[in-house]
Structure formats: C-alpha cells, structure tokens
Amino acid sequence: MNKTVILRNVAKKYKMYSRTSDKLLDIVMPKGYGEDFYALRNISFEAEKGDVIGIIGVNGSGKSTLSNIISGIIPPTSGSIEINGDVALIAINSGLDNQLTGRENIELKCLMLGFNKRQIKKLEPEIIEFSEIGKFIDQPVKNYSSGMKSRLGFAISVNINPDILIIDEALSVGDKIFADKCEAKMNEFKEKGKTIFFISHSLRQIKNFCEKALWIEYGEVKSFGEVSEVVPKYEKFLKDYKAMSEIERKEYREKVMEKRSSEYKISNAKT
C-alpha cells in the first residue's frame, strides 16, 4: 500500500457571526443565525510514501485547517479521509504545554503517543540533542523563544519516527543552521519512504524541500502536481494580484468571500 493520505471532497464549514449575541441565539435556536463560511471545500488529492508536498496559498486560504484535518486535530464537515500510518504535526504554536519544562513536554508527548517509560528514557537524549536547547530543557517552555519552541517541537516529532509528518510554518522561525539540519532530516525521512507535508510562505524553501506542491486558493485546490509546474503558476497569481489596484483587490476579495459563503457542487474530478 503506497498511498498514505487520501482525501475525497473534504470540506470544513464554519459559522460566522456578526454579533456575539447571534452566536448564542444560534446555539438555542439553530436556524438562520450566522453565515456559512467554507474554510475548505471540495478538497481531493492523494499522497504516497516518499512524497514531499509543499502546501502553498495566501493568508487565510486554508492551509492550517487542512493540516489540522490531516493530523486529526479537527474533523472535516464532510468528505472522506483515509490515513495509513502515524501522523505528527509540527506547528509554531501547537503541541507544547507552556507551563511544563521542555523535558516534561517530551515525556508527556511520548506518553500520549503510547511509548513506555523505557522507550522514553532512550528517546529523550536524542530529542534533547537534536533540539540544541541545552540547559533550557529544564526551564518552562513559556521562557523559550519561538525558535526554541519550534526546535523542540521539530525534535520531538522527527524522533518519534512518524509515517506522515506535517510541518506547518515551523521552519519560518528557525535560523538557517537549524533549517539546514531539518532539511537533512527531511531528506532522510523521504529516503525512508515517509510522507511529508511542508507548509510555508517561503517559495524558496518550498522549491528546496519539495517535489510536489498543493496550491490552495481560498479553500479550494487550485493546482496539484510537480513543484516546477505549480509554483510558477502561483508566482504568476501573486504577481497579478500585486498589480491590481486597491479597488480591484477589494472587489476580488469580496467575490472570494461570497463564493466561500455559498453552497457548492461536489466535483468528482481527481486532482
């Protein structure tokens, strides 16, 4: 079985309320209050073992929502998801308990993943070594810089050896030396046949790390394929968007907002 992640017509719908009181009314009388908003809709794609897929798209297009759905943190509103293997998500502000020390966070995360005490004892020094946190490992995570949190999150996730790894903007706060180390680790993972999703606004990083790219435009798959095909299309979109006047941009955003609030027809086209 080479397919590790299969999504079919996945959608995530939220309710948007213009007033807090509307939200309360919607809970008591669930009809008519709030407006539907599709963070994602009609998402279909497949990933295989050894795929390194860059997820790109402008702010708010749905990249983090997608990574949360693949990692099982949030359920989709509709559609089907098949995941073959263990998933680890590394995101800037997720997964670590700020009140606990780095070491306690390692232990907690490993326990939650079903490792026993003996396995944790073996893993702990490897994680600490990789993270390069040094003495700070026994300090509460709230005293860490964002780069340190990202290092620890990355070190835990890669050393627990998941089959599917999702990195959501976590490298953007790391320095070049750590990014290079992460790249080496990602290449090692790729050779081992693991699947990696890499979310970043840095197209340079996407081109360096990934072979495939998934472009999400305002909640929908705009393009999925080789990085060399998808990234230039996205770059052209960014260039055209930048060239628009303020009024054109506003109109464009309103059109998108309207589209994301409306019902849609499921397309069965495989992307």
Ligand X SMILES: Nc1ncnc2c1ncn2[C@@H]1O[C@H](COP(=O)(O)OP(=O)(O)OP(=O)(O)O)[C@@H](O)[C@H]1O
Contact status: 200 vs ligand X (CB under 6 A): no
Residue (39 or 186) nearer to ligand X, CB: 39
In whole angstroms, how close is the CB of 16 to ligand X at the nearest point? 6
Contact status: 14 vs ligand X (CB under 6 A): yes
> From the list 44, 65, 195, 205, which residue makes contact with ligand X (rule: CB under 6 A)?
65
Query: H helices then E strands: how many in the chain?
Result: 9, 9
Do residues 267 and 221 touch, judged by C-beta distance below 8 A? no
End-to-end CA distance of the chain: 20
In whole angstroms, how close is the CB of 110 to ligand X at the nearest point? 28
Fill in the amino acid letter for 156: I
Q: At 97, list the tokens.
A: 């308990």
Contact status: 76 vs ligand X (CB under 6 A): no
In whole angstroms, how close is the CB of 92 to ligand X at the nearest point? 10
Distance, CA of 127 to CA of 144 (rounded, Å): 16
Residue (63 or 151) nearer to ligand X, CB: 63
Task: Count interface residues toward ligand X (CB under 6 A).
Answer: 10
> From the list 4, 33, 57, 224, which residue makes contact with ligand X (rule: CB under 6 A)?
57
Distance, CA of 16 to CA of 80 (rounded, Å): 24
Do residues 49 and 5 touch, judged by C-beta distance below 8 A? no
Distance, CA of 211 to CA of 185 (rounded, Å): 16
Residue (38 or 136) nearer to ligand X, CB: 38
Contact status: 205 vs ligand X (CB under 6 A): no
Contact status: 150 vs ligand X (CB under 6 A): no
Contact status: 64 vs ligand X (CB under 6 A): yes
Site string for ligand X, 16-45 (x = CB under 6 A): -----------------------x------
Distance, CA of 66 to CA of 26 (rounded, Å): 26
All residues at 6 or more sequence positions from 22 whose CB lies less than 8 Å from its CB, including other chains: 33, 34
- List interacting residues with ligand X (CB under 6 A): 14, 39, 57, 59-65
